[in-house]
Amino acid sequence: MTAWYIYRGGDAKGELHARFDHDARPLVGLRAYEIQVGLAVPLLDPGPDGLPSEEELPALDAIERVVVEEAGDRAVLVGVISTGGVREFVLYTGDGQWLEEFQAAVSGAVETHEIQMMARRDPEWLVYRAFVKT
């Protein structure tokens, strides 16, 4: 069972809700996971706080299932962040060769939302460590 921890906060720019997998801590710094992948999903109708509405949550949960399924064993989903009208799925992988195919597969499977992707080297797991003490 995965130990997801919930984070809630915000600043003058708006609210931030996130959850991160604390069980992923042993993976930090491993060469097999030194590329951070962010899949950003702009919300269709965010609330005034920039967070998803209750009505949009089932579609976002479905997108998360697609992300995990399409990533398979090539990456690990370690976090989900909602803020500023966007939900971002945070993954780590060691090989970027499959990412274009991955984005196309996720985008093709998701009819409700736009899928934006970025990837960058992050061997220090800075995004993860911003939320989880390692």
Task: Give the domain ranges of the chain.
Answer: 14-129
Burial class (CB in 10 A: 0-12, 13-18, 19+), 14: middle
CATH of domain 14-129: 3.30.70
Could you read off the pLDDT tens digit of each residue along the chain, which spans 134 residues?
578 999 999 877 789 999 999 999 999 989 999 999 999 999 999 999 999 999 999 999 999 999 999 999 999 999 999 999 999 999 999 999 999 999 999 999 999 999 999 999 999 999 999 999 98
pLDDT at 84 (0 to 100): 95
Neighbouring C-beta atoms of residue 56, cutoff 10 Å: 19
pLDDT at 83 (0 to 100): 96
Contact predicate 91/118, CB 8 Å: no
Q: What is the pTM of this model?
A: 0.95
Closest-CA residue to 113 (of 47, 40, 48): 40
- Tokens found for residue 114: 């736009």
Q: What is the CA radius of gyration of the chain?
A: 14
